[in-house]
Amino acid sequence: MMIKRRHQSDVRSSEITPKDVYMERRRFMAAGAGALLFGAVGATPAAAARTKLDGVVQGLYQADEEWTPYDDITSYNNFYEFGTGKDDPIRYSRFFNPSPWSVTIDGAVEKPGTYTIEDILKPHALEERVYRLRCVERWSMVVPWVGFPLADLLKRFAPTSGAKYVAFETLLDPERMPGQKLGVLEWPYVEGLTIDEAMHPLTLLAVGLYGETMPNQNGAPLRLVVPWKYGFKSIKSIVRISLVEKQPPTSWNISTPREYGFYSNVNPEVDHPRWTQATERRIGDFFRRPTLMFNGYAEDVANLYAGMDLVKNY
Ligand SMILES: Nc1nc2c(c(=O)[nH]1)N[C@H]1C(S)=C(S)[C@@H](COP(=O)(O)O)O[C@H]1N2
Ligand SMILES: [Mo]
Q: Hey, what domains does the chain have and what are their CATH numbers?
A: 3-305 (3.90.420.10)
Which pLDDT does position 9 carry in this prediction?
42
What spacing in Å lies between the alpha carbon of 234 and ligand 2's midpoint?
A: 9
Choose which residue among 228, 236, 252, 266 to substitute to test ligand 1 binding: the one with the highest number of ligand atoms within 8 A of its C-beta.
236
Which pLDDT value is given to residue 39? 62
Nearest CA-CA partner of 122 in 135, 109, 103:
103
Largest CA distance in the chain: 56
Q: By CB neighbour count within 10 A (0-12 exposed, 13-18 middle, 19+ buried), where does 193 fall?
A: buried
Residue 105 and residue 115 in contact, taking contact as beta carbons nearer than 8 Å: yes
pLDDT of residue 38: 67
In contact, 235 and 170? CB cutoff 8 Å: yes
The number of beta carbons lying within 10 Å of the beta carbon of residue 284 is 14
> If you compute the radius of gyration of the chain from its CA atoms, what whole number of angstroms results?
19
In a 3-state reduction of DSSP, which class is residue 57? strand
Q: In terms of DSSP H, where are the helices of the chain?
A: 18-29, 34-38, 70-73, 88-92, 117-121, 150-156, 195-199, 251-255, 298-301
Around ligand 1, the residues with Cβ closer than 6 Å are 77-81, 133, 135, 170, 189, 218, 231-232, 234-237
For the chain (314 residues), the mean pLDDT of every run of 10, in chain order, is 42 42 41 54 57 96 96 98 98 97 98 97 98 98 98 98 98 98 97 98 98 98 98 98 98 97 98 96 97 98 97 96
Ligand 2 (ion): which residues have CB within 5 A?
78, 135, 231-232
Nearest CA to ligand 1 atom 10: 232
Reduced to 3 states (helix: H, G, I; strand: E, B; else coil), residue 27 is: helix
Side-chain half-sphere CA neighbours of 231 within 13 A: 21
The bound ligand whose nearest atom lies closest to the alpha carbon of 272 is 2
**Of 185, 280, 288, 184, the residue nearest 231 (C-alpha):** 280
CA 104 from centre of chain? 19
Residue bearing the CA closest to ligand 1, atom 11:
232
Give the closest residue to 186 by CA, choosing from 172, 176, 175, 166: 172
132: which strand partners?
A: 142
* CA-nearest residue, atom 21 of ligand 1: 77
Residue nearest to atom 24 of ligand 1 (CA): 235
d(CA 269, CA 292): 9
Nearest CA to ligand 1 atom 23: 232
Ligand 1 atom index nearest CA of 189: 1
pLDDT score of 49 = 79
Q: What is the pLDDT of residue 30?
A: 44
pLDDT value of position 254: 98
3-state secondary structure of 129: strand
Tell me what pLDDT residue 48 has.
72
Contacts of 61 (CB under 8 A, 6+ apart): 129, 130, 131, 202
Q: Which of the listed residues 68, 72, 78, 135 should we mutate to test ligand 1's pocket, taking the one with most ligand atoms within 8 A of CB?
A: 78
Q: At residue 271, what is the residue type?
A: D
Question: What atom of ligand 1 comes closest to residue 134's alpha carbon?
Answer: 14
Calculate how far, in angstroms, residue 217's C-alpha sits from the geometric centre of ligand 1: 9
Rounded CA gap, 245 and 162, in Å?
5
Ligand that comes closest to the CA of residue 252: 1
Query: Whole-angstrom Cα distance, residue 72 to residue 75?
Result: 5
Q: What is the pLDDT of residue 40?
A: 52
The pLDDT, as a whole number, for residue 35 is 56
Cα 133 to averaged position of ligand 2 atoms, centre (Å)? 9
Q: Rounded to the nearest whole angstrom, what is the distance from the C-alpha of residue 37 to the centroid of ligand 1?
A: 21
